Structure 1
Amino acid sequence: MKKRLRRFFLSFVVFLLLCCIGIIGAVEYWSHTEAGKVPVKTAVLLHAVDQRLVTSDMKAPKIFSSSGSPSYTRTTTSIPMTDGEEIPIRIYQPKKEGPHPIIIYYHGGAFLEGYGNINTHDNIVRALASKTQNVVISVGYRLAPAHPFPTATEDSYEALLWAFQHASSFNGDPSKIAVAGDSAGGNLATVVTMMARDRNGPSITSQALFYPLTTFQDVTFSSRSLYDSGYYLISRSVMEKARKNYTPEENMWSNPYTSPLDAQNLHDLPPALIITAEFDPLRDEGEAYGKVLAESGTAVNAVRYNGVMHGFVSFYEVMNRGKDALDKASLYLTESFQQQPEYQAYQLDIYDNQPALESLQDRGEAYAIGGYLLGKQAISKISSW
């Protein structure tokens, strides 16, 4: 009997060792992508998204989520547009006394229906509300193909006007308004600052742009060709679809309100934080925009996060670099309400070095997630038999 138990135990240990070796081997294999090697945590998330095992708007496991009651209330409502239609907005209001500065957030999603909305990016906005303790308003602007340019820009600007005019209703301070957004939303955020300048609109304190799309024109950028397959969460085909549906007429491509990188006048715009990702087709145009913005006299803080892909901030609950980028944006916006950032010559900061303990943690979590994904795939295959 003892011999049988010993054999069983040894067999079980060998089985576990083989599983661990298999998981490690699979994760290391996934880290070798078409455009080069990526960190293992990035690798497992890219593999999971590529295999449609997770999506960017899925909730993180509870072990990665913070507990406790939120420090804000959340209200979803609709606001009128001048064309008679309405758009949804979601207001995150601190529970403490105000008035509070206001951050208006524009979600990403290629300007297209089915790619993004205020629900898919709710985790980013929740985090901004919690970290800044400001009022944060998420804007559900209308999307193409039903609503091509300039509907999204006009909706975005009118949301700014609404927030300014109705600030007292949600305990906001209309003298302290900032804008933020990711990808297509980053485009809209910076375009709104231009519209506010051109139309003598509300003063905007600062702008925080996560991997923004900055031009619809056929510009040669190395990042567009290196990472355009779609494996890095955004593809050339999606970018072409966005251009075809959002800017169907070629003369729209050079409009400063679609392609701020090509704008002739970038003067008198609010200070900007521009965050880009190494493995992102939009990386180079985001950084190029930061440079021309700085050359026009705007204080620009530009940071590239190496080792991560487009949309990485959406994964902040399981990616340390996503959390760091969100922390940086929250601090930047909060401090800009207190004092305007000083102008300095353009410099791109590279976030690359990772503390040894954090790197070890990332590797351990990557193998754990990899094991879960392999198990999920195995169960799926067995179920299909």
Structure 2
Amino acid sequence: MLHIRKVFKKAMLASFIIFSLLLLIITGAVLLWQTTDEGRLPAKTAVVLHAVNNNLVDLDINVKPPRIVSGGTEGEAVLLREDIFIPVQGDAQIPVRIYRPRGEGPFPVVLYFHGGAFMEGYGGLNTHDNILRYTASHTGSVVIAPAYRLAPENIFPAAVEDGYTALEWTEENAESLKGDPDKISVMGDSAGGNIATVITQMARDRDGPEVAAQVLFYPLTTFRELPLASREVYDSGYYLLSRSVMHQAREAYAPEEWMWKHPYSSPLHAEDLSGLPPALIITAEFDPLRDEGEQYAEKLSGDGVLVQGSRYRGVMHGFVSFHEVMQSGRNGMQEAVVFLRRAESGNFGSSDYTLNIKEPPQGLSRIREQTEAFAIAAYLLGRSGADLIIRE
């Protein structure tokens, strides 16, 4: 019996030592990933970026967040999904994905444009499906997402013309989808944010459908070479968008200089933005597009448009795509939901524009984020070790 107790104590001690070493390794790895030349990252942001940039999970930034920590689908309503094609200019047709709640309606309508640098291979309906479902479920809206034609085969203004045609189609067909044609909002991220806001200009200029509101996640608002600090500091690609990709996007989508200056490609330089619908513009701290998005918010406000602007600290370009795994992503989506609900009621208020700084999760949310970050880190390190063993 004494011998068994000694063996048991030794085993417990060995287990404790191994656990302590593993914890030390995980802690050291997370601290290392958090440390960048541009500043210290929150733990969750650091491990997600490490996973993406090192291909440690089956993940593309434009596809879906890693299914390492469950969440994001709780409370989502059952939706009806339909994939169709609609005609656009030039006798072409584009795919459209539609999500709508069950019931008789009429429901408000959200026209969503996916990001992806305007180019083939960087984004599409499948890559943004989690955003579409979340928006439809939590706003009780019919969400219509057109897969506009992409560069380099289709250059400017193909994408925005497709977007405007989709807006007209949405107004004409809203009732058949149990949507309200008088309550159409537009929404988009990155390149899709560019398209979303541009078609509000087109609708104004062409006396087209009335748009109730616009929600723009980290939109690209200019193709010009401007001295923007965020483009200089966060353009390495580590934060999921690089200067080289931005240059490729311009060469592919807007290859001629006159295109860079057009208000329908670079809305930041439009002479007049008055008469556009109320806007929510969400930017990310570690994002090359941060400054141009915030400057666009200021310009809209200066031209008399009601604007709500939020900068989320501690996160990168594309962060709302990770709303199933990152609290800041969920917060960004929830802010968009609240704004869209206000659009439905028309209750925006009339406050002056100020940029709201959204801090990383605090309190219990921060503890949860930290715990999940360490769990993800353990998974990533384990997978890295397994891959090394397999290669050996």
Q: TM-score range by the shorter chain?
A: over 0.9
Aligned to 1:13: 16
Q: In 1, are the aligned partners of 2:283 and 2:294 still within 8 Å (CA)? A: yes
Mapped to 2, the partners of 1:250 and 1:92 lie a distance apart of 38
Mapped to 2, the partners of 1:34 and 1:354 lie a distance apart of 22
Mapping of residues 323-362 of structure 1, within 5 Å: 323-352=330-359, 354-362=361-369
Mapping of residues 15-54 of structure 1, within 5 Å: 15-53=18-56, 54=59
- Deviation digits for residues 240-262 of structure 1, max 9, x if unmatched? 00001000001100100000000
Which consecutive aligned stretches of 4+ in structure 1 deviate over 6 angstroms post-superposition?
Answer: none
- Offset at residue 169 of structure 1 (A): 1.7
Q: In 1, are the aligned partners of 2:314 and 2:360 still within 8 Å (CA)? A: no
Paired residue secondary structure (1:219): coil
Aligned to 1:379: 386
1:252 aligns to 2:255 (yes or no): no
Aligned to 1:176: 183
Identity of counterpart residues, as a percentage?
Answer: 49
Mapped to 2, the partners of 1:68 and 1:202 lie a distance apart of 33
Paired residue secondary structure (1:209): strand
Aligned to 1:199: 206
Paired residue secondary structure (1:194): helix
* One-letter identity of the residue aligned with 1:10: L
Paired residue secondary structure (1:324): helix
Mapping of residues 93-242 of structure 1, within 5 Å: 93-242=100-249
Structure 2 unaligned runs (5+)?
none
Mapped to 2, the partners of 1:68 and 1:267 lie a distance apart of 38
Q: In 2, are the aligned partners of 1:42 and 1:307 still within 8 Å (CA)? A: yes
Structure 1 unaligned runs (5+)?
none
Q: In 2, are the aligned partners of 1:190 and 1:207 still within 8 Å (CA)? A: yes
- Offset at residue 68 of structure 1 (A): 7.2
- Offset at residue 82 of structure 1 (A): 2.7
Q: In 1, are the aligned partners of 2:81 and 2:99 still within 8 Å (CA)? A: yes
* One-letter identity of the residue aligned with 1:58: K
TM-score by length of 1: 0.97
Q: In 2, are the aligned partners of 1:109 and 1:184 still within 8 Å (CA)? A: yes
- Offset at residue 16 of structure 1 (A): 1.1
In structure 2, the CA distance between the partners of 1:353 and 1:150, relative to structure 1 (3 Å rule), is: closer
* One-letter identity of the residue aligned with 2:19: L
Mapped to 1, the partners of 2:214 and 2:374 lie a distance apart of 37
Q: In 2, are the aligned partners of 1:297 and 1:343 still within 8 Å (CA)? A: no
* One-letter identity of the residue aligned with 1:5: F
- Offset at residue 34 of structure 1 (A): 2.6
1:55 aligns to 2:63 (yes or no): no
Name which of 315, 319, 325 aligns with 1:308.
Answer: 315
- Offset at residue 187 of structure 1 (A): 0.4
Name which of 362, 376, 381 aligns with 1:369.
Answer: 376
- Deviation digits for residues 301-349 of structure 1, max 9, x if unmatched? 0010001110000001111111011001011011111114233322101
Paired residue secondary structure (1:77): strand
- Deviation digits for residues 110-161 of structure 1, max 9, x if unmatched? 0010000011000011100110011001110010011111110011110111
* One-letter identity of the residue aligned with 2:114: H
Mapped to 2, the partners of 1:174 and 1:58 lie a distance apart of 31
Q: In 2, are the aligned partners of 1:103 and 1:177 still within 8 Å (CA)? A: yes
Name which of 274, 287, 300 aligns with 2:294.
Answer: 287
Aligned to 1:321: 328
* One-letter identity of the residue aligned with 2:319: F
Mapped to 1, the partners of 2:108 and 2:197 lie a distance apart of 18
TM-score by length of 2: 0.96
Mapped to 1, the partners of 2:69 and 2:289 lie a distance apart of 32
Mapped to 2, the partners of 1:277 and 1:82 lie a distance apart of 35
Mapped to 2, the partners of 1:74 and 1:24 lie a distance apart of 43
Which range is displaced more, 215-224 or 71-80?
71-80
